[in-house]
Structure 1
Amino acid sequence: MLNRLLRSLSVAVLAWCLILSPGTVWASQGVSYTNSRDIVVQATITVPKSQLANLSSYTIKGSLINGAEHPYANPYYYAGATKQVGISSDSEKNFFYTISENIENENITSDKTYTAVAKVKSSLVTYNISPKQVASTVAYPPEVKRYVVPSPQIESNHPLIVKKAKEIVKGETNPYVKAKKIFDFTNTYMDYTEKNAWGTAVQALQRRSGVCEDFSRLMVALLRAENIPARTVAGYALDKNEKNVDLTEEDYAHMWVEFYLPGYGWLPADPTVLEYDEHDKRVAAQNFGMGNWYYIPEVIDQEGGISYEYYTKEGVEDSGDLLDPIVTEKGKVETSNSTKN
């Protein structure tokens, strides 16, 4: 019997290698990437012996890491540490791991464990951009232009989003200034809470609260409404003072934003970073919320996830979830200092 399932997870990290497309322009004047660290991420997927006994074959596929150009987080190595783990990618340069096993005639004596490893050079980001250095009008290349139109959960053409974006920018035409105004608004308008969270951009605007996904989707929708290319990035965020962490012990999964500036390319922003003044009053985070975290991008404009399909052995009763939730994913992160950029 064949069964398939697709379910969302809070990001499952692994790996890839960096591919820079010809002609990519990255920020040099006004943006610095410093205190680089080499980050080794290990992900493990385990299928317990008790469930393997019911299966004849199975395929497991999970989101891995994103291979688009991120100057603040450059993956330079990825591999399946076990031979059954394969690596693939899609048109968005989202990389995936795939595990495929036929165990029809295999004598199962223990759990099956699969591992993949990634190495990423991640840097802290500091901005010092002068608006005069940013062109107000530009013809975006096709691969960038597609990030100014609506997408699932990012309703940038919704009347409420369009109206609010115009109120925020107040006639401003410089893309950098508009992006800063929209960041400041989102960062101070939203309250962080898991109640009624994980919604769309419009819902975030109406509820004025949510988690990192809600903050990020709202900011991206407002930017797109002002014709500024923007996208969400899901992955991991690690405090700059952390060295070795176990991703199973604490939730490091995160979502942030990248926006595109002419002559600079894609730049990161984290609207969920909250700051307060000496009177405990919320103020807009400095530096687009960057500078205190190391980021590991996993997928662009979507959430990480895992899917699987399997065949059961003859006579086995199946409710459709023999691999759920016993497929477990664990991440281990080790960091080491690298040469400063």
Structure 2
Amino acid sequence: MEPKYLARYLASSEIIDWHHPAVSAKARELANGCKGDAEIALRCFLFVRDEIFHSWDHRMNPVTLNASEVLRHKTGFCFAKSHLFAALLRANGIPAGLCYQRLVSGEYGQPFFLHGLNAVYLKDFGWYRADARGIKPGHDTQFTPPVEALPYIARAPGEAEFPEIWDEPLPFVVDTLTRYTDIEQVRRHLPDIDVISLPRADSPAREQT
């Protein structure tokens, strides 16, 4: 039996809006013919990674936030892509949450920036982190449970792997993606937070894999 707390990771919301007809239809399409939650999750991962374009990598506007917006415009920053990935999984009855890393930046005078990715609850493995931001030179990302295959690992001083799994995006992430209407503005104002200042999630910490 799955833990009761997983219900919050199946909810549809304003941002992870899997009840939107287009999102739920795409989720059904991706799940067609799959055997088990891991195969469905892989299909959803590959779709978001490869067919939804990272806004900065591909220099694509508009700035998107809600899962349905990301699907409609086929572009999003890492945070927005994680919202769509979570929505597609939840629409298929697979619990999914949001995770964050703090990474070194060095661009536009920003020492660090926050990076968004996902945690997926798979019946055979428990929580598993996956990053559908897209592949670029030097940064590969795969879906290979139970082994994580992430494009970034926080190792440098000041970087952090936040263990929390959030059912909704952090407020300052939402603020960034709603305040700025152009990808250049977002890139110059990527969200960041001191490690000691991050509010705690109500959700349990991610199980180590």
TM class by shorter chain equals 0.5 to 0.7
Tell me if the contact between 1:234 and 1:303 (Cα under 8 Å) persists in the aligned partners.
no
Relative to the length of structure 1, the TM-score reads 0.42
Partner SS for 1:293: coil
Tell me if the contact between 2:103 and 2:113 (Cα under 8 Å) persists in the aligned partners.
yes
Query: Which of the residues 113, 118, 132 maps onto 1:252?
Result: 113
Aligned-pair CA distance for 1:287? 4.0
Deviations 1:2-37, CA, capped at 9 Å, x for gaps: xxxxxxxxxxxxxxxxxxxxxxxxxxxxxxxxxxxx
Tell me if the contact between 1:232 and 1:258 (Cα under 8 Å) persists in the aligned partners.
yes
- Give the distance between the partners of 1:219 and 1:207, measured in 2 at CA: 15
Deviations 1:193-239, CA, capped at 9 Å, x for gaps: 25222420000000001101111001000000110000112342469
Tell me if the contact between 2:16 and 2:87 (Cα under 8 Å) persists in the aligned partners.
yes
**Higher helix share goes to which structure?**
2
For CA contacts below 8 A with separation 6 or more, give which structure has more relative contact order. Answer: 1
Given the alignment of the two structures, is residue 225 of structure 1 paired with residue 86 of structure 2, yes or no?
A: no
Matches within 5 A, 1:170-319: 170-193=32-55, 195-237=61-103, 249-275=110-136, 285-287=141-143, 289-290=149-150, 292-294=152-154, 296-297=161-162, 300=166, 301-305=168-172
- Give the distance between the partners of 1:305 and 1:299, measured in 2 at CA: 16
- Structure 2: state its 5+ residue gaps: 155-159, 174-191, 196-208
Partner SS for 1:152: coil
Tell me if the contact between 2:104 and 2:111 (Cα under 8 Å) persists in the aligned partners.
no
Aligned-pair CA distance for 1:275? 4.2
Partner SS for 1:172: coil
Tell me if the contact between 1:238 and 1:293 (Cα under 8 Å) persists in the aligned partners.
no
Deviations 1:288-329, CA, capped at 9 Å, x for gaps: 6516423522672221549xxxxxxxxxxxxxxxxxxxxxx8
Relative to the length of structure 2, the TM-score reads 0.65
Q: Work out which of the two has the higher radius of gyration on C-alpha atoms and give 1 or 2.
A: 1
- Give the distance between the partners of 1:177 and 1:293, measured in 2 at CA: 25
**Higher strand share goes to which structure?**
1
Partner SS for 2:93: coil
- Give the distance between the partners of 1:211 and 1:181, measured in 2 at CA: 20
Give the number of aligned pairs: 161
- Report the RMSD for the aligned CA atoms in angstroms: 3.2
Percent identity at matched positions?
23
